[in-house]
Amino acid sequence: MATDNDDVRSRTELITSLQNEQTKQHIVFDAQGRAQFLFEAVVTAPDGSPCLCTEYVYLTPTGMTVRTRQERVYKWKSAWDTDFVFDPAANYDPDGDGNI
Query: Could you tell me the residue ranges of all domains in the chain?
Result: 5-76
- What is the average pLDDT value for the chain, to the nearest integer? 85
**Per-residue pLDDT at 6 exceeds 60:** no
- DSSP helix/strand/coil, 25: strand
Q: Give the whole-angstrom CA distance, residue 68 versus residue 66.
A: 6
Q: What share of the chain is helix, strand, coil (3-state, %, to 5)?
A: 20, 35, 45
Res. 4: pLDDT tops 50: no
pTM, two decimals, is 0.75
